């Protein structure tokens, strides 16, 4: 009732949006918001004194961007570079992605035609990109029909309920079976997932050992293994033994990201 009333009055609606913008930094960074706001208003006063014009209701407080370096999530950054490099080197006629980062999927569509499947449909219109609603537990593809397949930072979430999916302790195992079902002979699977000390961090994710990942995806053959360690270093061309040793040594309190390129034998 109150929301409908506000929406019928443009002036109230403008202030409602303004208050929402002002409160966002407090929700995101409650411990640092007050000193950051003091600095913001001091900057605003200096801006006005210099002849600038900026009204209170038009404020869009961004209080955490004054950093010495550009902030990134190293795992998502490096896996995107890794994935783009693979498809750019030898673009398939068509590529299927299951639930990976939406921005990466959009970039992949520049290289080749992409079919993107996610439990939460992506509602965009982009050339070379087809978006389908679906689940990794029941993929909308025939057996052995996909030659190029990716699933990045997804496997670890299946069955934990984080994204509204059913709770299932065997969720990741079943997801791997479905990836194996649709991958064609000679096809390639690009998969990334946290690796380190095997455990479930409910309800955020699972962490697998390197050996677990390779076992879950048998009979696929490992073509390449890359690691993004807890310090954000990109370590390519690793053997399973090297990656396992590094992930377990540095991953007891944290975890690395394993990027696996695997192929299904033709025989």
Residues 119 and 154 in one domain: yes
What does the pLDDT look like over 149-161, one tens digit per residue?
999 999 999 999 9
Residue 187 lies in a domain: yes
Number of domains in the chain: 2
Residues 78 and 54 in one domain: no
Residue that terminates a domain, selected from 58, 84, 105? 58
What does the pLDDT look like over 72-83, one tens digit per residue?
999 999 999 999
Output the domain CATH number for residue 176: 3.40.50.150
Angle at 166 between CA 162 and CA 172, to 5 degrees: 75
- Percentage of the chain exceeding pLDDT 90: 72
What is the extent of the structural domain holding 170? 74-263
The structure tokens listed for 76 are 């998502």
Measured N-to-C along each axis, helices 10-28 and 33-49 cross at an angle, to the nearest 10 degrees, of 130
Per-residue CA distances from 176 to 13, 60, 150, 221, 234 (Å): 48, 44, 12, 14, 25
Residue 63 lies in a domain: no
Nearest to 87, CA basis, from 152, 144, 148: 148
Query: What pTM value is reported for the model?
Result: 0.87
Residues 84 and 182 in one domain: yes
Task: Please say if the pLDDT value at position 265 is more than 70.
Answer: yes
Task: Please say if the pLDDT value at position 90 is more than 80.
Answer: yes
Residues 100 and 189 in one domain: yes
Query: Which of 5-14, 140-149, 236-245 is least confident?
Result: 5-14
What does the pLDDT look like over 9-20, one tens digit per residue?
566 667 777 778
Residues 30 and 87 in one domain: no
What does the pLDDT look like over 21-44, one tens digit per residue?
878 877 777 888 889 889 999 999
Residue 195 lies in a domain: yes
């Amino acid at each position: 009732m109150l929301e409908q009333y506000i929406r019928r009055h443009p002036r109230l609606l403008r202030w409602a949006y303004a208050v929402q913008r002002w409160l966002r930094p407090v929700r995101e960074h409650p411990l640092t918001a007050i000193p950051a706001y003091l600095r913001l208003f001091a900057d605003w006063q200096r801006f006005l004194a210099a002849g600038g014009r900026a009204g209170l209701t038009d404020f869009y407080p961004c209080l955490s961007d004054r950093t010495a370096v550009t902030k990134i999530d190293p795992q998502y950054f490096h896996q995107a570079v890794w994935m783009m490099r693979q498809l750019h080197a030898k673009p398939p006629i068509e590529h299927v992605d299951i639930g990976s980062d939406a921005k990466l999927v959009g970039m992949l569509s520049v290289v080749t035609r992409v079919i993107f499947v996610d439990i939460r449909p992506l509602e965009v219109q982009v050339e070379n990109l087809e978006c389908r609603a679906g689940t990794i537990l029941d993929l909308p593809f025939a057996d052995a029909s996909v030659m190029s397949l990716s699933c990045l930072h997804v496997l670890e979430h299946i069955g934990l309920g984080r994204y509204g999916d059913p709770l299932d302790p065997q969720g990741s195992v079943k997801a791997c079976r479905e990836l194996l079902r649709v991958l064609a002979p000679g096809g390639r699977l690009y998969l990334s997932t946290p690796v380190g000390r095997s455990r479930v961090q409910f309800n955020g994710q699972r962490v697998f050992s390197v050996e677990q990942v390779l076992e879950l995806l048998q009979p696929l053959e490992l073509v390449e293994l890359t690691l993004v360690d807890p310090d954000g270093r990109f370590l390519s061309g690793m053997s399973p033994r090297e990656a396992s040793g590094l992930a377990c040594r540095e991953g007891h309190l944290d975890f690395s990201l394993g990027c696996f390129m695997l192929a299904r034998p033709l025989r």
